[in-house]
Amino acid sequence: MNQGIDLQGSFVQALIDLGIPAGSAKALWLPLPMVLMLIAATVSIFVVVWLERKISAAAQQRIGPEYAGPLGTLQAVADGMKLVFKEDIIPAKSDPLLFTLGPVIVVIPVLLSFLIVPFGQNLVITDIGVGIFLWIALSSIAPIGLLMAGYSSNNKYSLLGGLRAAAQSISYEIPMALAVLAVVMMSNSLSTIDIVQQQSGHGVIGWNIIRQPVGFLIFWIAALAECERLPFDLPEAEEELVAGYQTEYTGMKFGLFYVGSYVNLVLSALLVAILYLGGWDFPIPIEMLANWLGVSETTPWLQIIMASLGVMMTLFKAYLLVFIAILMRWTVPRVRIDQLLDFGWKFLLPVSLVNLLLTAGLKLALPFAFGG
Amino acid sequence: MLKFLKQVGDYAKETAQAAKYIGQGLSVTFDHMRRRPITVQYPYEKLIPSERFRGRIHFEFDKCIACEVCVRVCPINLPVVDWAFDKGTKKKTLKHYSIDFGVCIFCGNCVEYCPTNCLSMTEEYELAAYDRHELNYDNVALGRLPYKVTEDPMVTPLRELGYLPKGVMDPHELPAGSRRAGKLPQEILEELETAEK
């Protein structure tokens, strides 16, 4: 298998050649991908907020943001600036410590999850063995923060919203984990790199969505529920709960929730793209094409094209899913809390279990197609 | 066992149906995305109110005979008519007249029934005020005429959908003098009159 561009290796090697010891060369490399990923995550908020507002406007025959920047692209920046300068209010008789800690605990795991999101063969912060499992573990920290925020606000709407958020996150985590488990079983690895690697090389046919259509749907539904997107946005259903656990928040603390929810949406879309839509893999197998044309896989220009194409493919797939999520928002009505829990426990959970069982059976029966 | 299988089959069918409906809904919203926006950029662009628009009520003090018909036909007896009987002329003289537009529902009954036509509807609809008492218009305020949208240099007047030429959906950049679809009311009236002759 072709290893693609090894940025880290080249960077460290270049520094070692300059006379810097190997250890410090590696230490110099370490912050670079992290900062890059943080910047990418932050920029993605602006992109998603803009997309959300423009697509929502288009679906409702409106124009949407127009005046802040070209085509309203800087609207999110303007909103963010406003939030930064707003007074930071901590409501009376609330618990100031938990109130402050809540949004932080919601945001940090989301940003931390970008640790395992690969944009290419070597374009990932760390390729850890438990990759996808780490993400599942991190995503279950968020409900604690939501509950904290809701409980400490000293407000009935906040408390109800927080409780709903916790109930929702916990019940949809299980079908999600089971859907991921089926994929993991097929790839024989928890590492996101390996999962994509196992899908790539055959174009669209190799992607997990072909072999795991049910798993894809379950994962996507559960991901929407985890992100608290419509139709599952009842923790912050404004008609019932004002704004759920966000009711008492203003300024940058509210901004953190806002950032968290949008980054979480991007993260979920990226993970769906990685787990089911072949990550950075191009729909047509390029490597086979290159071999066929007589161009070596290790040709530098081909490698650069493949790497940039890979990043673009990952982002394209993720933003396509974001688009579907936004379209879904204006299509489906919100479910009730009992319908939500019914759907999670009585439908998604058994279906995902059957899906897992079927995958296991198929893996034994058809090992060539299901990664035996 | 068969019963159980049937239950599973029915459940699967229902699920498939639900998925189909969600798909249909998504296609509807997706279809809406290619439609053009119908936005009117409000403070800069305004729609021209139609001729039967029921806006703020205009009142002509000198025409009023203080008969209080407007009060009687009003659903909540809103107009306040302050008059005194003049023994010399044996007529009522009007002292004050006021309507509170914070309470008025613009039903137009008073305008309809006024025997001397001293009440009429205007095109004014921008009645926002900081204090609700400012909405209580006296006879002086009621006598003011609103500013016409078509004559405001700050505003681009836009025609409503019913006043556009046939097949046109966008009121922006209409060629000057373009007629609305169908016949105008006065033309229909003229035709009827000629037909009668």
| Residue A284 in tokens | 């047509």
Nearest to A58 among B22, B25, B33 (CB): B33
- Chain A interface disruption, residue of B15, B29, B35, most A CBs within 10 A: B29
- Asked if B35 has any chain A CB less than 8 Å from its own CB, the reply is yes
Confidence of residue A293 (pLDDT cuts 50, 70, 90): confident
Mind listing the pLDDT tens digit for each residue in A97-150? Answer: 888 888 999 899 988 888 888 887 777 777 788 888 888 888 888 888 888 888
The arithmetic mean of pLDDT across residues A226-245, rounded, is 77
Helix (H, G, I), strand (E, B) or coil at B136: strand
Give the separation between CA A7 and CA A30, rounded to whole angstroms: 12
Helix (H, G, I), strand (E, B) or coil at B112: helix
At A42 the pLDDT is: 85
Evaluate if residue B136 carries a pLDDT over 90: yes
Evaluate if residue B76 carries a pLDDT over 90: yes
Please indicate whether, in this complex, the C-beta atoms of B33 and A330 are within 8 angstroms of each other: no
Count, in order, helices (H) and strands (E) of chain B: 5, 7
Contact B57, B117 (CB under 8 A): no
My answer on whether omega of the bond before A118 falls inside 30° of 0, hence cis, is no
| Residue B153 in tokens | 């240099």
Confidence of residue A1 (pLDDT cuts 50, 70, 90): very low
Give the separation between CA B124 and CA B104, rounded to whole angstroms: 14
Mind listing the pLDDT tens digit for each residue in B27-63? Answer: 998 988 888 888 888 888 888 888 889 999 999 999 9
Confidence of residue A372 (pLDDT cuts 50, 70, 90): low
How close B16 gets to chain A, by Cα (Å)?
12
Chain A interface residues (partner B, CB cutoff 8 A): 55, 57-63, 324, 327-328, 330-332, 347
Helix (H, G, I), strand (E, B) or coil at B45: strand
Task: Evaluate the CA torsion angle A221, A224, A228, A230 in order and state its sign.
Answer: negative
Give the separation between CA B162 and CA B51, rounded to whole angstroms: 12
Evaluate if residue A71 carries a pLDDT over 50: yes
Name all contacts of A258-262 with Cβ < 8 Å and 24+ positions apart.
A258/A83, A259/A45, A259/A107, A260/A103, A260/A106, A260/A107, A260/A110, A260/A142, A261/A227, A261/A228, A262/A44, A262/A45, A262/A48, A262/A49, A262/A52
Please indicate whether, in this complex, the C-beta atoms of B35 and A61 are within 8 angstroms of each other: yes
Contact B180, B165 (CB under 8 A): yes
Give, as one character, the DSSP assignment of residue A345: I
Please indicate whether, in this complex, the C-beta atoms of B29 and A331 are within 8 angstroms of each other: yes
Contacts with B26 from chain A: Cβ below 8 Å: 324, 327-328, 331
| Residue B136 in tokens | 């209580």
Contacts with A55 from chain B: Cβ below 8 Å: 33
Mind listing the pLDDT tens digit for each residue in B93-108? Answer: 999 999 999 999 999 9
CA distances in angstroms from A359 to A74, A137, A174, A201, A277, listed in the order given: 46, 23, 17, 21, 17
Nearest to A332 among B25, B37, B39 (CB): B25
Residue of B nearest to A54 (CA): B33
Q: Please count the other Cβ atoms lying within 10 Å of the Cβ belonging to residue B179.
A: 11
Give the separation between CA A344 and CA A355, rounded to whole angstroms: 15
Confidence of residue A353 (pLDDT cuts 50, 70, 90): very high
Give, as one character, the DSSP assignment of residue B56: S
Mind listing the pLDDT tens digit for each residue in B141-177? Answer: 999 988 888 888 888 888 888 888 888 888 887 877 7
Burial class (CB in 10 A: 0-12, 13-18, 19+), B60: middle
Give the separation between CA A183 and CA A136, rounded to whole angstroms: 14
- Chain A interface disruption, residue of B7, B33, B35, B172, most A CBs within 10 A: B33
Give the separation between CA A216 and CA A211, rounded to whole angstroms: 9
Q: Where are the beta strands (DSSP E) in A131-223?
A: none
Confidence of residue A297 (pLDDT cuts 50, 70, 90): low
How close B31 gets to chain A, by Cα (Å)?
8
Evaluate if residue A246 carries a pLDDT over 90: no
Q: Out of A204-208, A312-316, B15-19, B112-116, which region has the weakest mean confidence (pLDDT)?
A: A204-208
Please indicate whether, in this complex, the C-beta atoms of B26 and A331 are within 8 angstroms of each other: yes
pTM above the 0.90 mark?
no
Residue of A nearest to B26 (CA): A331
How close A368 gets to chain B, by Cα (Å)?
29
Predicted complex ipTM exceeds 0.95: no
Evaluate if residue A259 carries a pLDDT over 60: yes
Q: Could you tell me what percent of chain B has a pLDDT over 90?
A: 42
Residue of A nearest to B11 (CA): A347
Give the separation between CA A110 and CA A17, rounded to whole angstroms: 37
Give, as one character, the DSSP assignment of residue A125: S
- Asked if B128 has any chain A CB less than 8 Å from its own CB, the reply is no
